[in-house]
Amino acid sequence: MKHYSDYELTRWNTFGIALKANEVVILEQDEDFIGFASQSGCYPGPFFILGGGSNVLFCADFPGTIVKIANRGMEVVSREKEGVLLRVSAGEAWETVIDFCLEHGFGGLENLTMIPGQAGSAAVQNIGAYGVEAGNVIEKVEVVDMESGSIAQIFAADCHFGYRSSIFKDEKYGKKLIRNVYFRLSTHPRVNTSYGVVKTSLSAQHIAHPEIRDVVEIIRRIREEKLPDPVKLGNAGSFFKNPVVSGARYASLQVQFPGIPGYPLADGAVKLAAGWLIEAAGWKGYRAGDAGVYPLQALVLVNYGNATGSDILHLSEQIRASIQHKFGVMLEREVLVLP
């Protein structure tokens, strides 16, 4: 366990915002999690648990203690006829997990390639893309209680995975340190190609019977074409969640805006495309100073170099107000904002 004071956080947030934390504790080994929990009273609050920094917007220097999750490693802990149980350290880079699964032929996560962040964050956020969510294949999450240091395993049914949400983002936020995530993966995978652009791209490549590698390569190509690399241009991926409205409300919106896309859900509600709403309201490619909306994907807000967190936040609030005024729909941020 490492500890630093007055620590620079610029490289620890994908927006590339220049700021510092009062204290930083880095948990690199599994035993560090228990050690920190037993000593947490020695560090100034508030605490913020930081993974890859790919879903957070810092608007000022952090006054308390950043707990950086940095343990690494993957291990197949059991094998069955049709699959494996893979234990992944919470601090493992997500794309490393994807590469490991690709190398070993483990199916279930291939649609989630190129989502920045770490394995622990995948459980917190229940990351999703192209018709798949991490919660679909998470079997359980190993946590360490921040106060007692006790270890527990929370099974998927009790994680309350929802659209970009889980108990770790809600009632257990800041109370549990995710140490390991267990994924139940298939060794005889049936890939999910139901998402329109994936299906179309595979067809264009004349791939009639896609395998894991085909899906990974297609999705990586799609994401490279439409999303900015945070190493080159500061961003946190999708800034807003796709809003959900009632079926009746969607029908009303269709009358006003005939081209508005909607994706019916099992309960009768309809999910709207936040990116479409933002583009239709004229924000795509907008720039104010160094804060802007990415020209190729309106759902992504970017830092062109020297934007502050407050600059990005202000832009996001302007967009939310605009969408509320035009469509009567309030966008919810996917990115966590720390004022």
Q: Where are the domains of the chain?
A: 2-69, 74-186, 234-244+273-338
The pLDDT-based confidence of 171 (bands split at 50, 70, 90) is low
Taking residues 296-302, report their average pLDDT: 97
- pLDDT one-digit tens code per residue, 320-335: 999 999 999 999 999 9
Phi (first) and psi of residue 308, to 5 degrees:
-90, 165
Phi, psi of 168 (to 5 degrees): -75, -15
Given 87, 92, 142, 164, the catalytic residue: 164
Residue 281 has pLDDT above 90, yes or no: yes
Return mean pLDDT, the chain. Answer: 95
List the single range of 4-13, 84-93, 166-175 with lowest mean pLDDT: 166-175
234-244+273-338: CATH topology: 3.90.78
DSSP assignment letter at 205: T
Phi and psi of 5, rounded to 5°? -115, 150
Residue with tokens 């770490």: 118
Structure token digits, residue 261: 């896309």
- What is the distance between the alpha carbons of residues 112 and 129, in angstroms, rounded to a whole number? 6
A 10 A CB-CB count for 211 gives: 13
**8 Å CB contact between 210 and 31:** no
DSSP code at position 301: E
pTM of the model: 0.90
Tokens of 57: 């917007």
CATH number of 74-186: 3.30.465.10
Q: pLDDT at residue 142 above 80?
A: yes
Given the residues 110, 133, 217, 334, the one annotated as active site:
334
The DSSP line for 27-90 is E-SHHHHHHHHHHGGGSPSPEEEESSSSSEEE-S-EEEEEEEE----EEEEEE-SSEEEEEEET
Greater model confidence, 174 or 102: 102
- When pLDDT is cut at 50, 70 and 90, the band that residue 169 belongs to is confident
Looking at 54, 166, 238, 316, which residue is catalytic? Answer: 238
pLDDT score, position 196: 87
Is 238 annotated as catalytic?
Answer: yes
Q: Is the pLDDT assigned to residue 111 strictly greater than 70?
A: yes
- Measured between alpha carbons, how far is residue 156 from residues 135, 138, 227 in Å? 7, 6, 30
- Whether 92 sits among the annotated catalytic residues: the reply is no
C-alpha count within 13 angstroms, C-beta hemisphere, residue 303: 27
Q: What is the pLDDT of residues 257-269, one digit of tens each?
A: 999 999 999 999 9
Q: What is the dihedral of CA 116, 118, 122, 127, to 10 degrees?
A: 0
User: What confidence score (pLDDT) does residue 293 get?
Assistant: 98
Task: Tell me the sheet residues that pair with 153.
Answer: 142
Which residue blocks in 93-139 are alpha helix, DSSP H?
94-104, 119-125
Q: Give, as one character, the DSSP assignment of residue 333.
A: B
What's the rounded Cα separation, in Å, for the pair 339 and 326?
28
CATH class label, 2-69: alpha beta
Query: Which tokens go with 168?
Result: 């770790």
At a CB cut-off of 8 Å and minimum separation 6, what does 101 contact?
86, 107, 108, 109, 110, 185, 212
- Bridge partner residues of 85 (DSSP): 78, 184
State the pLDDT at residue 172: 63
Averaged pLDDT, 213-237: 94
Please say if 164 is a catalytic residue. Answer: yes
